[in-house]
Structure 1
């Protein structure tokens, strides 16, 4: 079968939108428990540290599963892995919905003893978050090197807006329909995302030619003719090993841990912060969280484009400097309006650095893009699981100052990353 007889599924544009839409639905699980944390905490009798773990638990599987599934893109193109993760998320959400049907969540103490069950189902629902590294690697392979920043900005930027949207919409659903219906609606929405990806998702050209029976050399030549410039160096394990041996991979992991992990963490934590530290009602808390989260997500797009023009290193350093300052400002006593403005500075820093970091992956780790996206996306996003329990612990230790002190974690990591990236990337260029 010659190339003329083979019909390639998708184009760079359609494949990018397919991956972006699938990720959009999968990543909404970041906000799975944040908007409902007050009710769930009362129903299960949780302290601030346990509450922090609860709101972050979808990010556990959502981060760690990015590593193997991102690397598997280098073996099979990633479409099957993407579908598996979305299907697992649907199952987790359906089980949570059933649990909230059986137990009256609105009644304090009604779910005592069920904390481990809710954590386990939250982990399952969080599998959709792990689609990030799969779609990111697919986008890297579909697009020319000169447009990597654009592709990663669109994918990561528009895709992650769903977490902010859910932070705003979920309190509305709870108010009008109650816990039972609200989580069943979320299950239906996640299932819709699965169906849309089945329809739109496509493996990069090289993998399509391999599946059509071409040998590796012919598949590579045909994919080159279709515009693909990046190619895997071997199996998933090989890709992980190759990328793990490149020091810049680990610098990018820490960079992404700080700002994408931070984005996930604060999207989950801010509803609790606004309600308990600032005394705001759930609807306003959800709205402020949504603005923060959506802004950070959308700013990945200009962050990626700016990185294409002036270099991701410069964009990253500027964003991290802003984050370091904003983390300090969050400790100054202010009204909720001024505090919200400072939170938007954090949002800007997160958005630009996230766009820049993903632009730098194919620049520094072109030999193992899938593996690198797995390490960076997985261990980087692990920050979304780590930060909320730490912030909750600070609140337990110091109820008066703990909410503000938690933001100094981001100041510390921002300064650390700036130092490491300066000596590890900028001076070596």
Structure 2
């Protein structure tokens, strides 16, 4: 029954294809958040940067990531996800090409601090791929029914987010084997190839395909609903942004995401290679491997985290996750031992990964008719946390010296406790409204 309807309207694709192409796009695009993190110590030494300046360079890709996530996430509610994905991936290709060209032209003999502004510029441009996260959330969400949102988004974010971890491990290996410039060239080739594959196979959900065929909103919604689509946009880009912005729960989720992911997971993904190299004295390849463990593990645990959120409720899972984050951050704050630090890293990665799954399980629940807009605000404003956290971590080093690499984690510990309290308050408020029978998104 379903297939004839698809054929009748010339529709293509299916939920699993929508999920896996979005995951591929995120995997490739999100690698750009570690444009400089993978080789942070090399850039610090060659460019003669202070700890704070290194933090600014490492965080530069996160500027465009944060700014672009808001409009591009909301734009999905108007045009679907494929077009925004391709524009963002194209910007990242240009930025990474600029960095690669700079390395071939100037590294190592002509490297100095005068090149810092250009590297910042290309870092900002290249970081556009990080904005694919808020595009892929609604693109994936619109393919699946509400009861499968946590599971689908857990797979999307879990597998997609391992991209930076893989690069944290692979790029140092390539640097050792073929040199810094050639390693970045290899990264560029991969990004182009992944973008081409996405362009060929990615497809938007049935509603957007119908709208592009000039079927009006209500008819498109009715047809897509018969085909299994369960979540729909309420309007265009600005309507989605305005509607989601007027819902106070959006801003609660923004803050929780800021600490767990924007200022937490992505910040540490970019910071850990430098932390393990300059604080624990490890080689670049060993530090990259350990940082990759954090990123891949913290990403993959989002998959069961999404299932647990569907089963036990996003609020409950979030509370426990933020408590776990606080404990891991405290361990990292007080220890200089590499083995204990590794344990603390795994603990904080566990909390961050599961917290992210819980937060996005709540998006379709609290803002069901503006998922794209809400995802844009959450991913964009929340993603800006990296712009603050990494320079703060670098500043702790400037102030306290070597031990500052450890002491900086106290900031994350304090913010994690605050998030646990906020998540608990959100749970109580939701329970009260449910008890009165007045809860509405």
- Normalised by the length of structure 1, the TM-score is 0.97
Hey, what's the Cα distance between the residues in 2 that align with 1:132 and 1:426? 29
Local SS of the residue matching 2:333 = coil
Determine if contact 1:22/1:196 at 8 Å carries over to the other structure: no
Distance in 2, Cα, partners of 1:116 & 1:36: 17
Q: CA deviation at 1:162?
A: 0.9
Matched, 1:265 2:267: yes
| Matches of 2:366 and 2:161, distance apart in 1 | 24
Q: Which residue of 1 aligns with 2:330?
A: 328
Shift, 1:340, TM fit: 0.6
Aligned to 1:102: 105
Cα 1:393/1:209, change in 2 over 3 Å: same
**Cross-structure match for 2:435:** none
Deviations 1:157-178 (A, max 9, x none): 0001010010011111111111
CA distance in 2, matches of 1:426, 1:365: 18
Q: Retained in 2: the 8 A contact 1:313–1:426?
A: no
1:291 has 2:265 as partner: no
| Structure 1 residues 306-325: aligned runs within 5 Å | 306-325=308-327
User: Residue deviations 1:215-258, cap 9 Å, x none?
Assistant: 11211111101111111111111111111111111111111111
Q: How does 1:326-365 map to 2 (within 5 A)?
A: 326-365=328-367
Q: Secondary structure at the match of 1:227?
A: coil
Q: Does 1:189 align with 2:190?
A: yes
Alignment correspondent of 2:228: 227
Matched with 1:211 is 212
Matched residue, 2:157 = 156
CA distance in 1 between counterparts of 2:299 and 2:247 reads: 28
C-alpha separation in 2, matches of 1:198 and 1:116: 32
CA contact (8 A) 2:334 2:407 kept: no
Q: Is the 8 A contact 2:70 2:373 kept in 1?
A: yes
Tell me the equivalent position of 1:88.
91
* Aligned mates of 1:157, 1:334 — CA distance in 2: 30
Cα distance, 1:95 vs structure 2: 1.1
* Secondary structure of the corresponding residue to residue 339 of structure 1: helix
Aligned ranges for residues 359-374 of structure 1 at < 5 Å?
Answer: 359-374=361-376
Instruction: Write out per-residue CA displacement over residues 369-422 of structure 1, whole angstroms, 9 at most, x where no aligned residue.
Output: 110000111111222222111100111011143112211111111111122222
Correspondence 1:75-154 to 2 at 5 A: 75-105=78-108, 107=109, 110-154=111-155
Give secondary structure in 2 for the equivalent of 1:331: helix
- For 1:9, the equivalent position in structure 2 comes to 12
What's the secondary structure of 1:399's corresponding residue?
A: helix
Deviations along 1:180-204, one digit per CA (max 9) or x if unpaired, are 2111111111101110111221111
Report if the CA contact (8 A) 1:274-1:285 is conserved. yes
CA distance in 1 between counterparts of 2:35 and 2:374 reads 28
In the alignment, structure 1 residue 281 sits paired with structure 2 residue 283: yes
Please give the alpha-carbon distance, in whole angstroms, between the structure 2 residues aligned to 1:175 and 1:407: 30
State whether residues 69 and 380 of structure 2, in contact with CA within 8 Å, keep that contact through their aligned partners in structure 1: yes
Q: d(CA) in 2 for partners of 1:12 and 1:333? A: 46
1:110 CA displacement: 2.0
* Structure 1 partner of 2:244: 243
Equivalent of residue 49 in structure 2, options 23, 46, 49: 46
Distance change (3 Å), C-alpha of 1:346 and 1:3: closer
Cα deviation, 1:343-374, whole Å, max 9, x if unaligned, reads: 10011001100111111111111121110000
RMSD (CA atoms): 1.3
Contact 1:251–1:417 (Cα < 8 Å) also in 2: no
Q: Please, which runs of 5 or more residues in structure 1 have no aligned partner?
A: none
Q: Distance in 1 between matches of 2:182 and 2:394?
A: 29
Q: 1:333 and 1:130 mapped to 2: Cα distance? A: 34
Contact 1:3–1:222 (Cα < 8 Å) also in 2: no
Equivalenced residue count is 426
- Residue-by-residue CA offset, 1:31-68 (whole Å, 9 max, x unaligned): 21112111111221100001111111111111221100
The partner residue of 2:27 within 13, 24, 27 is 24
Contact 1:29 1:125 in 2 (8 A): yes
Map of 1:302 onto structure 2: 304
Once the two structures are superposed, residues 2-21 of structure 1 have per-residue CA deviations (whole angstroms, 9 ceiling, x without a partner) of 86532212100111001000
Instruction: Give the conservation status (yes or no) of the 8 Å contact 2:41–2:278.
Output: no
* Distance across 2 between alignment mates of 1:84 and 1:196: 14
Contact 1:30 1:126 in 2 (8 A): yes
Asked if the contact 2:327/2:347 (under 8 Å) is kept, the reply is: no
For residue 424 of structure 1, report the CA deviation from its aligned partner. Answer: 3.2
Q: Which of 401, 404, 418 is the matching residue for 1:402?
A: 404
Give the secondary-structure state (helix, strand or coil) at the position aligned to 2:214: coil
